[in-house]
Structure 1
Amino acid sequence: MTHTTSGTLTTPDGTHIAHRDHHPAGTPTTTFLLLHGLAGHQGEWDTLAARLSADGHRVVTYDARGHGASTRTPPTTTRAAHVQDALTLIEELGLAPVTLLGQSLGGHTAMLLAASHPHLVRSLILIEAGPAGPAPDLPAQIAAWLDGWPTPFKSLEEAEAFLGHEAWTRTLVQREDGWHPAWDRTTIVASVAELATTAYWEEWSRITCPMLLIQGEHGTMRPGEPAEMLTHRPDTRLIRIPDAAHDVHLDQPARLHEAIAAFLSD
């Protein structure tokens, strides 16, 4: 039986971070911190978190700053601020040594944390995330993606049909004219500003813990990026999940769970 508690903690810059802590009965085998991607929320992890908890692991999820139930417009959205949020969770909830599992921008945060605080991290699992850059067009691409949402949605069914997964509809807010995103556009676009100008190969090369890189068969990583990641760190395990795009955890949660379980068993 898993016991789940919800809470909110405050980071050094005053940002409130909403989180959920799934405790298994007995002593956990592994402690996970799960980090979602841009414009997402912690509920995306529900299916995988349930599977990991059933295996006897402790699983903590949270809404990144500017996302979900966390502070909607935080004072800053830098990469360092995102890393500090994860660090605050690890320290205040006593998660170390922790296995970091992050998708997309959350994976990038997890990678930077593993590079800067190796003593806190047992292992690192990246889903559709890596150190490549710079990407000058990224902020404009993200802005165009957000602006392309045909909001307000008339119904949650319409929203799910457009967004692709039910999980993406859970943070929509209902108003008189329909369903609207809860995020602040400026905050979301600003969250990728540093990725437009910076590559992070040095940080990737500094990581010392065991690493698993998971790609979706139809994902959006740069061509050649996974191969270059293995060139820098040949001990990294790479797995490609069939019939999955960028949101591997939503497209193929069972296959993702199998890949994680195999990685842990080694």
Structure 2
Amino acid sequence: MLRWARAWRVPRGILVDSSPKRSVVPVTFSSSRSSGQGNADPRPLPLSYNLLDGDATLPAIVFLHGLFGSKTNFKSLAKAMVQRTGRRVLTVDARNHGDSPHSPDASYEAMSLDLQGLLPQLGLVPCVLIGHSMGGKTAMLLALQRPDVVERLVVMDISPTGTTPGLYIGNFIAAMKAVEIPEKVPYSQARKLADKQLSSVVKEVSIRQFLLTNLVEVDGRFSWRVNLDALAQQLDRILTFPQQLESYSRPTLFVLGGNSTYVQPSHYPEIRRLFPQAQIQTVPNAGHWVHNDNPKDFMDAVTSFLA
């Protein structure tokens, strides 16, 4: 189990990293770290995070990654955001992802609750919440549930409706679970073996490389650090959005990829209902991973929104 990093006691200019040392987390292939057994625990989990220091008088920026991602997805962007805005920037591993604990509960309600535990602990309330895909849905739900926690909201290429590409995501999970790697092979060889086995289902090289960021090795044995069992069991919940009646009336920016089909014009009425102050901006030459495909225009959009 991870422990809270006491970020408020660390001198300014220091990067706080709450991640555990890999060498003390024994795993076997396709096993998962669990926060408990049996039914879901309603208590928040102690998430792994990185906190970059900045001006404490300004609301911090908090990045939430998407499905199969981790806080490292925003490593370069977080540093650039500190330099551009002078603000503190937090990147977080969602439950069942990265270095955060595993749980059978992969719901957005649980992920929102985790942040409601973490952000006040770090003194980051209210904050600017930026979420991509799954992280965008978590960010939207947190803003709707606790508007006092979210000063401004940025949602990256997702909407508060159902997500359509569910079938292939389920196939990706099944393909990852089926991967077999012998013990005590070099990590480079293990990646090649996993890549080859995934290639029959995951055709795009870039997506395979992204999924392979979850392959970890401890004591000669390989594991997926993402909790595939929980994600498979609750994929339907991940691909939908919890029904909400209340709206979030503070400034909101939806940043869409110009080449992406995740957010359709038919979703706009629900966006406007739940987020009446929403602006919708399309970033050209970008797919679903807007911040990777066109980081300059994404940064320009966010910093202009913050200004």
* Residue 62 (structure 1) aligns with: 92
Q: How far 1:195 moved relative to its partner?
A: 4.6
Q: How far 1:119 moved relative to its partner?
A: 1.2
Q: How far 1:235 moved relative to its partner?
A: 3.0
Native 8 Å contact 1:216 1:244 kept in 2: yes
* Residue 216 (structure 1) aligns with: 257
Structure 1 pair 169/30, CA: closer, same or farther in 2 (3 Å)? farther
Q: How far 1:176 moved relative to its partner?
A: 10
* Residue 145 (structure 1) aligns with: 172
TM normalised by structure 1 equals: 0.82
Deviations 1:63-118 (A, max 9, x none): 100001111x3142122111001111111111111111000010101101100111
Structure 2 CA distance for aligned equivalents of residues 200 and 214 of structure 1? 22
The yes-or-no answer on 1:193 pairing with 2:204 is no
| Amino acid in the other structure paired with 1:108 | K
Higher mean displacement: 210-219 or 15-24: 15-24
Q: How far 1:164 moved relative to its partner?
A: 4.4
Match of 1:184 among 222, 227, 247: 227
Native 8 Å contact 1:143 1:189 kept in 2: yes
Q: How far 1:248 moved relative to its partner?
A: 1.0
Native 8 Å contact 2:161 2:240 kept in 1: no
Structure 1 pair 179/3, CA: closer, same or farther in 2 (3 Å)? same
Structure 2 CA distance for aligned equivalents of residues 91 and 187 of structure 1? 27
Describe the SS at the equivalent of 1:85.
helix
| Amino acid in the other structure paired with 2:287 | A
Structure 1 stretches of 5 or more lacking a match?
Answer: none
Deviations 1:149-196 (A, max 9, x none): 69563179989x723486654432248999763223222234433255
| Amino acid in the other structure paired with 1:144 | N
Structure 2 stretches of 5 or more lacking a match?
Answer: 1-11, 21-34, 36-40, 182-190, 199-203
| Amino acid in the other structure paired with 1:145 | F
* Residue 173 (structure 1) aligns with: 216
Match of 1:238 among 280, 286, 302: 280
Native 8 Å contact 2:160 2:271 kept in 1: no
Match of 2:107 among 70, 74, 78: 78
Q: How far 1:47 moved relative to its partner?
A: 1.7
Higher mean displacement: 109-118 or 28-37: 28-37
RMSD of aligned Cα (Å): 3.4
Identity %: 24
Structure 1 pair 228/178, CA: closer, same or farther in 2 (3 Å)? farther
Native 8 Å contact 1:154 1:178 kept in 2: no
Native 8 Å contact 1:34 1:102 kept in 2: yes
Native 8 Å contact 2:195 2:208 kept in 1: no
Native 8 Å contact 1:44 1:168 kept in 2: no
Describe the SS at the equivalent of 1:193.
helix
Deviations 1:188-240 (A, max 9, x none): 2344332556563635xx11110000001122314224532454245311111
Structure 2 CA distance for aligned equivalents of residues 175 and 91 of structure 1? 33
* Residue 129 (structure 2) aligns with: 100
Higher strand share: 1
TM normalised by structure 2 equals: 0.72
Structure 1 CA distance for aligned equivalents of residues 207 and 104 of structure 2? 31
Structure 1 pair 94/223, CA: closer, same or farther in 2 (3 Å)? same
The yes-or-no answer on 1:262 pairing with 2:275 is no
* Residue 121 (structure 1) aligns with: 150
Deviations 1:225-261 (A, max 9, x none): 4532454245311111111111112212221111001
